Structure 1
Amino acid sequence: MSAADSQDGIVLAVDGGGSKTDAVALDLAGHVLATARAATSSPHIIGVDATIALIDGLVGEIAAQTDGRPLLQANIYLSGLDLPAEVDAFSRSIRGFSWASGSGGRPAIVDNDLFALLRAGTNEADAVAVVCGTGINCVGVRADGTVARYASLGMISGDWGGGWHLGEKALWHAARAVDGRGPATSLVKAVPETFGLADVQAVIEAMHFGRLANAELSALSPAVFRAAREGDAVAGRLVDRQADEIVTFAETTLRKLDLLDRPTPLVLGGGVISARDERLMGGIERGLAARAPLAHVELVTAAPILGAGLLALEAVGSGRDALATARAELSFRQASFSVAG
């Protein structure tokens, strides 16, 4: 890499969640030079080939906005890269693309989007992050390099919660209330209203015949929280269970990393959490007080592309001033980016 490349070079950061994917280019002083956005890039949702094509398209948009300035480093953080084997396989799959290696031969850094959320919330070496957006996941890091992570594959890997799962449970309870197998719930009205359909049976049939995609169940999550606020017992139990699952993730990860006995940041983010529902947040606070009292919550309302950008700059050795500039400029552009998850 020439001295000119180093001076004019840029870093690329990509954060892909369950609903949106953001990309940003920064110069080495931390200034935002270009941004781009697309739909979800989760390989679990659209497949690896489609994910790579989507990122390639975003890189093309970024290149057009930066007049071909040399790319020094790419950091890519994606929902759906949950297992180390998935991270390795994705890294191998992108090797043929020019953006997968910087102008100096530096390979792209690829990992789960939780690492971007974690960095957006804290720069401490010991930390845990829980995201509750479309899905739910957790990661923890320790100063000695130890990482605790989870498969995050839904029910088959022991997970419970996130917007999609809450929506699935809302429909499940509404269906049982209608046919008499379950208790009455205002979700019977809220579920079809969310989709503009006549009744619960119409929702069931629309999903069965493919007129409603399974992924659209996440749209029911706000209805669950609204029903709970209005006193619906069924919805209230779902919200309480979600709070307990978030606390369980945090406590378990802190224990795995031997961090329960010291003050440690717990970064929380994702669309479900960022809505700041009073019942959910109160349940999290009470649970942590009882089970992980030394953890202190860092609630991330910024999009995790902030963390991805900071990590990309750190990868090329940018200093504190550049990181501060990037944080300020990316935070200022908050409205242009999606909320975590």
Structure 2
Amino acid sequence: MARSIDIQTTTKKKQKPLQHELGFGIHFTDHMFIMDYADDRGWHEPRIVPYQPIVLDPAAKVFHYGQTIFEGLKAFKTTEGKVLLFRPERNIQRLNRSNERLGVPALDEELALDALKSLIAVDQEWIPTEPGTSLYIRPFVIATQPALGVDASTQYQFIIIMSPVGNYYAEGVNPVKIFVESEYVRAVRGGIGEAKTAGNYAASLKAQEVAKEKGYSQVLWLDGVHRKYIEEVGSMNVFFKINGTVHTPALNGSILDGITRSSIIQLLQHWDIPVEESTMSIEDLFKDAKSGALEEAFGTGTAAVISPIGELNWLDEKLVISDGKTGEISGKLYDTLTGIQRGTIPDPFGWMVEVNI
């Protein structure tokens, strides 16, 4: 496979939005990366082209059988002008784990990372610099073979698009209200819950809609078998500080192995704060809250980084956490992780990767 990336730059650059009006994922940079796959050629023709619509046959398998996976990561620009990525190799590795689960041919991880860096270099002027902003990067794979047989596609496209973004939640890093979902199920062990694929998110939309109608920002997912064990919050991993120890649900085959999640665990261990990965029931969590043992709760993910939880509603019983305020650990984790990402505080873990511009 040719490793050189062909670059075709646009002749019509877009007008950039004001940084305080970015929102999340609604503006897109001038260029995109595309690479094709065919069974008889493998992955081929890696190229950067002007941002444009994708033209597909109506019978393309992505439309009918949902064979698609994606990733999400961010680029940051320091005050010295350096461009930094947060643990990008982990995203590429997870991309291939998702590919494996969905029957998609593996990507060359070195080439995928080169493509990502090259695209950032071309569109570097799109990286915002105001506090709370970043350049969100969305690599994804779609099945493009025009055939209606129920089997894996023989043709794919690997695409990367980028979007300058602000805070994921309108509340910013302030606590959000969460509705505990007891009817709908996001994923089950043995399914595709640990893959980053569109079907997981499609399965979550109805419950999220219901939660918002009730005045809640997101849902807390319970396991799909017993409907009692905590799994994820919205599209994020979730943590609870109970009697001085931070707990998070153990990876069990239906929970996404979050890169922010693993980074939070490393940070807590670095600070000598006890952290446990275990099975957690919603009933026990409410008991801990009533006894005063539950001190704070928060979600973690690429988009929001840290999202403190100020209230849970389970079976119409409301639970206020940390007086509805951002907890000490939540705030410290957010400040530290975003500081490392932006290059304003030391990175003792070697997480950040500089993009040569």
**TM bucket by the smaller chain?**
under 0.3
Structure whose residues are more often helix by fraction: 1
More relative contact order, 1 or 2 (CA 8 Å, 6+ apart): 1
- Structure having the larger proportion of residues in strand: 2
